[in-house]
Homo-oligomer: A and B are copies of this chain.
């Protein structure tokens, strides 16, 4: 009975205790309220789906990272969701196939993966996001970047920054002024990701070398990118980025890393990553994409607020707690709760208001600070 390992949680899974759970709940609510206010309707997909149906909408690869198990009912393999975006894509393509476009949907829930990574050992996390389905225009992308920033602001994130990228940059240049054979494209992408100048040249990607140095503060990096692109094949892209940037540059620090592809394997022309001061790693990412299986254009983002929760939980406000002594006026508690108090009723005369975390006690003339 006293073996403490009996109560250990599996690696990468944890309990949120009151301060931390309160921060997580407040942040989720603030984010969802923002998405709601921008016209996004919530949908709730199930925790579990057939692996096959998820794989189809994920281009078949990422279910390898899901917890999978056989359904005793259907004898088919089920997967615990590791990403809600694909589920929302499925809903758009099935239950909401006939809903008018652009379709604005949002979601929030827990997701799990079988393995954490070096940067983040968590195997369960909160995902909150919005998808604008039926459009991947500059207007759609601008709305999504603005909305992601607004959701983070509402949740209390400070010093938000947004890093833009052009996920199909190598293909666009290789189809135009800097031709590459198919196998060279793969190598060039890989070495650009690694930012390895020597290997990039060896792979035949000399013309792409300046991209490694075109990352940084948005306006400067966009200027560099423009100057690399003598033929002007990127003009539309750069102009789109500038329009998106203009919409949000008063609310976030903007950077551009045009050849960054990590995490954007499924994005088309536009991607962005969100950061905030004091939060380790990215808080979210988004971009333009095609819904797997239906090939409908969409723009969306996912926020992963667990890092923000960790950053703020120690200071989370748990509210004013009013102790109700055993002999309190029975009409008082409902009135006090309506005024925003949290009430803690004594179960016996031995209950100690201070030990129970109360800030006030109810007396005949009202709350008295402890």
User: Which of A41, A44, A50, A100: most chain B CB closer than 10 A?
Assistant: A44
A115: Cβ under 8 A from any B Cβ: yes
The answer to whether A49 touches B9 (Cβ under 8 A) is yes
Number of copies: 2
A213: Cβ under 8 A from any B Cβ: no
From B15, B45, B351, contact of A15 by CB (8 A) = B45
The answer to whether B96 touches A17 (Cβ under 8 A) is yes
The answer to whether B43 touches A15 (Cβ under 8 A) is yes
Interface string of A20-57 (1 = CB under 8 A from B): 11101100010010001111011111111110110010
- When distances are taken between beta carbons in the complex, the residues of chain B under 8 Å from A53 are 6-9
- When distances are taken between beta carbons in the complex, the residues of chain B under 8 Å from A318 are 41
A235: Cβ under 8 A from any B Cβ: no
A265: Cβ under 8 A from any B Cβ: no
- When distances are taken between beta carbons in the complex, the residues of chain B under 8 Å from A94 are 7
Given A94-B7, A96-B17, A110-B47, CB of A337 within 8 Å of CB of B135: no
Interface of A with B (CB < 8 Å)?
Answer: 1, 6-18, 20-22, 24-25, 29, 32, 36-39, 41-50, 52-53, 56, 67-69, 71-74, 76, 78, 80, 87, 90-91, 93-96, 100, 102, 104-105, 109-110, 112, 114-115, 123-124, 132, 135, 137, 139-140, 143, 293, 318-319, 321, 337, 341-345, 347-348, 351-352, 355-357
Closest 3 CB pairs of A and B: A16-B44, A18-B41, A39-B344
